Chain A
Amino acid sequence: MYTLLLKEFQLELRRKSVLSGLALYLISTIFICYLTFSLRNNQITPLVWSALFWIIILFTAVSTVAKSFIGEKKGKEIYYYSIVKPEAVILSKIIYNFILCALLSFTGLVLFILFLKNPIQDLLLFVLLLLLTSFGLSSALTLLSGIAAKANNSSILMSILGFPAVLSILLMAIKISKNSIDGLDRSVSWDDLLVLAAINCISTALSYLLFPYIWRS
């Protein structure tokens, strides 16, 4: 499993274009927001800020995770199939996607604070939330991208398959981010964080259990 994880990183470093493409995507979307909202001062309320932030993070995460299976070549899968267990494959992909998503969302956060204002009062909570959300997104979407990769028109299917899973994660995330923007006491958002962590556990367990069935074909 560690070797698989290592292999994912090496592959990624070798294909610099994809990673830099994602980073550029993030930067350009944030820059568009900046340009739009710089037309008039004080237009960006905290709620607008969090809506923009989550939309951008969501689309970046979807396009990050989507390539994890769609990018793989046919022959390589058979090769993996013969040497490693499917559980190892899915876990390594989830961890890898999680690290990638977390990196991208932190970059997004820094850029947001740089270009648009920083309305967050409780930054530590927000960072914790970002970590949890990126883990949830990567665990749910990795399994679904495995399904979508096998189907026709996989890129369209990917975004709609992910929709219900992502929505339940984002519902919690938006609520907690509102709490952290308002600087409410930590105890208020503690329950929501727990629910988010529980959703993460469920989706990881499901991916772990169900992936062998997808992998077999």
Chain B
Amino acid sequence: MRKSWWKIVCVILLIYTVVGGFLFAVPRLNIVNETIRVLYFHVPMWFGMIALFLFSLIYAVSYLRTNKLEYDMASNELAHVGVMFGLLGIFSGMIWANYAWGSPWHGDAKQNGSAISTLAYLIYFVLRGSLNNEEQRARFSAVYNIFAFAVMIPLIFIYPRMVDSLHPGNGGNPGFNTYDLDSRMRMVFYPACIGWILLGFWIATIRIRARFIEETILDQENE
């Protein structure tokens, strides 16, 4: 029970997010209207993805320092969940864009940047698949993981800020700062972020444990 308190917190926060996200009052803005509620689901996906990739990076670095295969396993599974979050973020953004911009894919700088960085992590899995030697695979994929993170940061954080974008928060469009003033949205948004990030790590820990059990069983069968 002592170890599972954060999972309980996660469930409570997410229930609160879903209920509050759909039912609480939101400010009326032009064009956006009710679709503003996507903020509770779309933006936390990106926070979750970045947190997961960051931990994946940390595990990759610590694999390179210590050469323990468990770190590599953790890094891989965290990247898996991170890509899932990224895809969900893209899809939720597409649903929103369909109503707010008129079409799901606008070739917006943020959309392109996130699509490319998701691709970079998909390539990470391809690289893992094409290396057979276990230790070599771990080392190379850790190196590529660091590389992919370094590619992702400018694509998500820097590049969209340099070009014009329709995305809220860019180029004078109503964005985060205007919501920040609205305490009603903040009441749901911050718990939502924490809840989704916790959910991401929960999934990742389950995946890591499952993979660990799989490997142990395989080892025992081989002996």
Contacts and interface: CB of A to CB of B under 8 A. Distances in A.
Interface in B161-198: 162-163
A71 interface: no
Contact of B159 (A151, A168, A217): A168
Interface stretch (B15-23, B30-38, B84-92, B119-127): B119-127
A213 B64 contact: yes
Interface in A166-217: 167-168, 171, 175, 191-192, 195, 199, 202-203, 206, 210, 213-214, 216-217
Given A164-B119, A164-B120, A195-B162, A150 B131 contact: yes
A150 B119 contact: no
A192 B158 CA distance: 11
Nearest to A154: B130
Contact of B140 (A147, A171, A192): A147
B99 interface: no
A153 interface: yes
Q: Name A's interface SS.
A: helix
Given A165-B151, A210-B147, A151 B123 contact: no
B136 A150 contact: yes
Nearest to A216: B139
A30 B141 CA distance: 37
Interface in B130-168: 130-133, 135-136, 139-140, 142-144, 146-148, 150-151, 154-155, 158-159, 162-163
Most buried by A among B119, B151, B154, B155: B151
A157 B150 contact: no
A152 interface: yes
Q: Name B's interface SS.
A: helix
Contacts of A104: none
Given A160-B123, A163-B123, A214 B117 contact: no
A110 interface: no
B51 interface: no
B58 interface: no
B27 to A, nearest CB: 35
B26 interface: no
Interface residues of A, number: 29
Contacts of B139: 213-214, 216-217
Contact of A214 (B120, B133, B143, B155): B143
A171 B163 CA distance: 11
Nearest to B131: A151
A163 B132 CA distance: 22
A195 B136 contact: no
A143 interface: yes
B158 A195 contact: yes
A199 B123 contact: no
Nearest to A207: B147
Contacts of B116: 164, 167-168
Contact of A151 (B64, B117, B127): B127
B123 A164 contact: yes
Interface of B: 64, 116-117, 119-120, 123, 126-127, 130-133, 135-136, 139-140, 142-144, 146-148, 150-151, 154-155, 158-159, 162-163
Interface of A: 143-144, 147, 150-153, 157, 160-161, 163-165, 167-168, 171, 175, 191-192, 195, 199, 202-203, 206, 210, 213-214, 216-217
9 contacts: A143-B147, A152-B132, A161-B123, A164-B117, A168-B155, A195-B162, A203-B150, A213-B64, A217-B139
Q: Which 8 A-B pairs have the closest CB atoms?
A: A164-B120, A151-B130, A210-B143, A164-B151, A147-B140, A151-B131, A217-B136, A152-B130
